[in-house]
Amino acid sequence: LAGLSLAVGVALARGLENIKVVTLCGGVPLRGQIASLENGAHIVVGTPGRVMDHLERGTLTLEGLNTLVLDEADRMLDMGFIPQVRQIIRQTPMKGERQTLLFSATFTEDVMNLAKQWTTDPAIVEIEPENVASDTVEQHVYAVAGSDKYKLLYNLIAQNNWIRVMVFANRKDEVRRIEERLTRDGISAVQMSGDVPQHKRIKALEGFREGKIRVMVATDVAGRGIHVDAISHVINFTLPETPDDYVHRIGRTGRAGASGTSISFAGEDDAYALPAIEALLGRKINCEQPPAELLAPVPRKH
């Protein structure tokens, strides 16, 4: 179970030969999922809502389950999925008769309480780099007025001819506006948020992964489920309210030993978040003024 199952399902399907993986998530017609389940599956990856839907319809049964994986447990708590997860777990074998794996970026008291409820004598494995943020990511902060943020974003991408960029914003409406403006101004872009239907998310992710689309604009929730190689730049259009989200955002680049760059825009509405981010990182991030050419007016397309 995952808050966002698309990336997990795609990755498993590509990485396992002779293993049938079925992905169950909302926004995709039920008919195709039912047909896939009727043919049997070794691994089912799903969001809680759609898994519950299939359980209630009788198109999925979990009596024979031997391994239960709960991914992004902290996010599922934040997004209110836990009541559905509890209903699903009640339909699996007892916790002493199955293996349960719980993954979480942060182990809060609430997450640990879930682990105690759903596992028996669990082993806790913590994997944390020596530095909170990867040494392979070069980090910059531009001090910029909110009214100039879009000009700065456009010029960074256009003047440098960047081809695989991930842009983060805090709100879904902000993500939509950024994607619409980039597209209007001749830079291929897609949005990834909870408002985007699942079939469009799949198409957007594939286009971005294949390099057909230059920019993906995402919220934190959507961005946590995206793992794409060769993202050269991560841009924080707005600084996240939670420092941990900053680390997750910039972790989309500089992966597998490759180098990457993160650029954050600190405006009058979000610069307050910077000290907490620096405290988590354990160091200051130099705040720069963008050069004049990066604040040039956006040329209008005819």
Per-residue pLDDT tens digits for 198-254:
778 888 888 998 889 999 999 987 777 677 777 889 999 999 988 988 988 998 887
Q: Burial level of 23, CB count in 10 A (0-12/13-18/19+)?
A: buried
Q: Read off φ and ψ for residue 23, nearest 5 degrees.
A: -105, 125
pTM of the model: 0.67
175: nearest Cα among 237, 124, 89: 237
103-124 mean pLDDT: 85
For the segment 39-82, what is each residue's pLDDT rounded down to a tens digit?
888 899 998 889 999 999 999 999 999 999 998 887 777 677 88
CA distance 171 to 54: 31
274-289 mean pLDDT: 91
For the segment 71-88, what is each residue's pLDDT rounded down to a tens digit?
888 777 767 788 899 999
CA distance 135 to 260: 9
Using the Cα atoms of residue 143, residue 144, residue 149 and residue 151 in order, give the sign of their dihedral.
negative
26 or 184: whose pLDDT is higher?
184
Q: Read off φ and ψ for residue 27, nearest 5 degrees.
A: 80, 0
Full 3-state SS string of the chain? CCCCCHHHHHHHHHHCCCCCEEEECCCCCHHHHHHHHHCCCCEEEECHHHHHHHHHHCCCCCCCCCEEEECCHHHHHHCCCHHHHHHHHCCCCCHHHCEEEECCCCCCHHHHHHHHHHCCCCCCCCCCCCCCCCCCEEEEEEECCHHHHHHHHHHHHHHHCCCCEEEECCCHHHHHHHHHHHHHCCCCEEEECCCCCHHHHHHHHHHHHCCCCCEEEECHHHHCCCCCCCCCEEEECCCCCCHHHHHHHHCCCCCCCCCEEEEEEECCCCHHHHHHHHHHHCCCCCEECCCHHHHCCCCCCC
Task: List the single range of 28-42, 128-142, 248-262 with lowest mean pLDDT.
Answer: 128-142
Residues sharing a CB contact under 8 Å with residue 272, sequence separation 6 or more, in sequence order? none
Cβ atoms of 222 and 249 within 8 Å: the answer is: no
Q: According to the model, what pLDDT value does residue 130 have?
A: 44
Q: Indicate whether 261 pLDDT > 50.
A: yes
